[in-house]
Structure 1
Amino acid sequence: MKLIILDRDGVINYDSDDYIKTVAEWIPLPGALDAIARLSRAGWTVAVATNQSGLARGYYSVPTLDSMHQVLRDAVQQRGGHLGLITYCPHGPDDGCTCRKPLAGLLEQVAEHYQTALDGVWFVGDSLRDLQAAVAANAQPVLVCSGKGAQTREQPLPDTTLIFADLSAVADHLLR
């Protein structure tokens, strides 16, 4: 199985320090939906693993989050692709869960769902937490410079981190 896992905010859609709280605020980054569709059409399984502490903070509800994800799925499908499993951590930073990145729980949920190992599976994110989660899961950390990625790039990164401009560049590389 060719599996790639993506963070959501800052990788697929614009991020906000004020959180993405409504479907109207969920705005895809240029080329991201096409990148997912291209990967899918080429036989890749594309999954998403995203921290969504706005749920714990009461900024939005699970039905609102589900609506955002349905918009995402529909947009990828309109481009001829398919988006696989979407996992999310609904907890706050101090809740003591095992799923919140930088822990590996969300990635492990994806591996369990697809009954596959994460060794070498690309996890694409824009934050140090994403890269740390990839390392914790024995996946390949991939940084995109969209979202908060440009700031993240200035920090010490895991040694094996691959760096790309955005999700389109990741897809271009994998589809070569």
Structure 2
Amino acid sequence: MLIILDRDGVINEYDGNYICSADEWIPIPGSIEAIARLSNAGHCIAIATNQSGIARGYYDIDELDAMHHKLEQLVEAQGGCIEFIAYCPHHPDEHCNCRKPRTGLLDQIRDHFHLDSLQGAMMVGDSRKDLEAGYTTGCRPVLVRTGNGLDTERHLDARPIPDAEVAIYDNLSKFTDALLSAEGW
């Protein structure tokens, strides 16, 4: 199964401030191991992340690449693999198609894997934007309470995502435990 993860607040610590360097990029405890466990269980892992800090001039593509290299190395050290990372470098005022909640990042992931659709995939995020992008493209939306997740959960309503359609977990590790347990791992 394809599992698409948001980055900030799902995989790494996020307090609302921009993460501008690999040194500032700190994984949430258990998240790296969770990704590796999902990968080792046969799931394909992709990341879809808004990174407007590039357009704002807080960091550049090279620094973003360094953050993602750090992420990939940590996952590989645990025996896992991230198959693809899609990111939006645009400012929100640019109204691009790739900035979540629009679906461009998920469309890139679908195209990368040569899929007809994302039906059956899961989108794990901590914000309404993540859930909407996933739901719109046919993914099963999953909310984690890390990052912005608690605030998102408090404001979750039935539009445009029916509450019953959103699975909620404390963090990526708890989501992984539940998914792999249901699959018999």
TM-score (norm 2): 0.92
Any unmatched runs of 5+ in structure 2?
Answer: none
CA shift for structure 1 position 129: 0.6
Identity between Structure 1 and Structure 2 (%): 49
Aligned partners of 1:165, 1:17: CA distance in 2, in Å?
18
The amino acid of 1:161's aligned partner reads V
Calculate the aligned-residue CA RMSD, in Å: 0.8
Aligned partners of 2:16, 2:10: CA distance in 1, in Å?
15
| Superposed CA offset, 1:7-38 (max 9, x none) | 00000001132200011110000100000000
The amino acid of 1:18's aligned partner reads N
Aligned pair count? 175
Alignment of 1:10-159 (within 5 A): 10-116=9-115, 117-157=117-157, 158-159=161-162
Give SS of 2:124's match. strand
Which 10-residue stretch deviates more, 65-74 or 12-21? Answer: 12-21
Which 10-residue stretch deviates more, 113-122 or 44-53? Answer: 113-122
Give SS of 1:153's match. helix
1:174 aligned residue: 179
1:9 aligns with 2:3: no
CA shift for structure 1 position 89: 0.3
Aligned partners of 1:156, 1:174: CA distance in 2, in Å?
22
Aligned partners of 2:120, 2:92: CA distance in 1, in Å?
27
Aligned partners of 2:83, 2:15: CA distance in 1, in Å?
24
